């Protein structure tokens, strides 16, 4: 695994190594994953209703924690490689892995990315969404619209017989044609009994990424696809808290993620209500 593609919450050093066998899920298992995904989606619905200027990001995190626990789910991010909260909450130029805090307060016009991972009945669901707080400007609105659209461009490619690189290429082509920076340092992943499984799902397609392998999509594969788009360049850096990733040019970044199953009827998004 190339170093540039090693990163914690999105890139475990264990489990999702290249070359690891891809675990296919039965229809019954996908049914259980749909319940885990539904809980993630319901938590996002709560976040959407809850968000307003003046909120501390820790308040959002604790709301997510309470909601997931009330619904008999487990919080996959808590203590994951030492992560100190239940969700990742990343504001404006923060890309991923923002740590919820007493000190971070949402302002009118901010965009906020919320990433939630939940376990239920032995399976995982993982979804991120970027929300506008109050009224956001056109540049921010366009970023959200196009990052969500990029995710669905990738999902459309999740049909039996296509390859992982078809997902990657669709996301990259759509996003770069619009002038966005596609973050390459973090990638999507297989998901199932563990949050991070094989294969990796890059949001870009170059020879190096797929030199060794480019798996063919098969019925029963479940993937978390998660483009991160920047208004400026793709370059990112990690803050001294060792978690928060920001854009180097401090321009806005968005992150949209769903957990999706490849089925004989086409892609089925599991992280929906």
Residues near Mg ion (CB under 5 A): 115, 126, 128, 224, 257
Nearer to Mg ion, 10 or 108 (CB): 10
Shortest distance in whole angstroms from residue 98 CB to Mg ion: 12
Nearer to Mg ion, 143 or 151 (CB): 151
Nearer to Mg ion, 30 or 228 (CB): 228
Nearer to Mg ion, 230 or 259 (CB): 259
- Looking at the DSSP bridge assignments, the partners of residue 163 are 216
| Cα–Cα nearest to 91, from 83, 77, 79, 103 | 103
Shortest distance in whole angstroms from residue 80 CB to Mg ion: 11
Shortest distance in whole angstroms from residue 188 CB to Mg ion: 6
Shortest distance in whole angstroms from residue 90 CB to Mg ion: 11
Q: Whole-angstrom Cα distance, residue 165 to residue 201?
A: 8
Shortest distance in whole angstroms from residue 78 CB to Mg ion: 13
Q: Whole-angstrom Cα distance, residue 171 to residue 151?
A: 7
Contact criterion met (CB below 8 Å) for 220 and 243: no
Three-class SS state of 49: helix
| Cα–Cα nearest to 73, from 119, 122, 132 | 119
Q: Whole-angstrom Cα distance, residue 10 to residue 257?
A: 11
* C-alpha of 75 from chain center: 15
Query: Could you give the residue ranges of the DSSP H alpha helices within 96-211?
Result: 138-156, 164-177
Shortest distance in whole angstroms from residue 194 CB to Mg ion: 11
Nearer to Mg ion, 16 or 128 (CB): 128
Nearer to Mg ion, 46 or 178 (CB): 46
Crossing angle (nearest 10°) for helices 27-50 and 57-70: 140
Contact criterion met (CB below 8 Å) for 186 and 228: yes
């Amino acid at each position: 695994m190339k170093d540039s593609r090693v990163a914690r919450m999105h890139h475990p050093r264990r489990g999702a190594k290249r070359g690891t066998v891809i675990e296919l899920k039965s229809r019954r298992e996908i049914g259980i994953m749909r319940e885990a995904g539904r809980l993630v989606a319901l938590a996002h619905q709560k976040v959407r209703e809850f968000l307003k200027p003046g909120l501390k990001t820790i308040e959002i995190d604790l709301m997510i924690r309470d909601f997931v626990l009330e619904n008999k789910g487990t919080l996959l991010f808590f203590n994951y490689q030492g992560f100190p909260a239940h969700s990742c909450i990343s504001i404006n130029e923060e890309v991923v892995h923002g740590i919820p805090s007493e000190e971070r307060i949402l302002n009118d016009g901010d965009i906020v990315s919320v990433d939630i991972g939940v376990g239920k009945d032995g399976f995982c669901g993982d979804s991120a969404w970027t929300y506008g707080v109050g009224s956001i400007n056109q540049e921010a609105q366009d970023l959200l619209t196009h990052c969500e659209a990029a995710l669905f461009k990738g999902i459309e490619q999740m049909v039996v017989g296509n390859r992982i690189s078809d997902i990657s290429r669709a996301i990259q082509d759509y996003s770069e044609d619009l002038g966005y920076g596609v973050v390459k340092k973090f990638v999507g992943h297989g998901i199932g009994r563990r949050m991070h499984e094989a294969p990796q799902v890059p949001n870009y397609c170059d020879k190096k990424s797929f030199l060794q392998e480019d798996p063919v999509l098969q019925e029963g594969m479940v993937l978390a696809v998660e483009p991160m788009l920047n208004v400026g360049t793709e370059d990112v850096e990690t803050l001294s808290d060792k978690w928060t990733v920001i854009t180097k040019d401090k321009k806005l970044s968005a992150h949209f993620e769903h957990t999706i199953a490849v089925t004989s009827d086409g892609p089925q998004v599991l992280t929906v209500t």
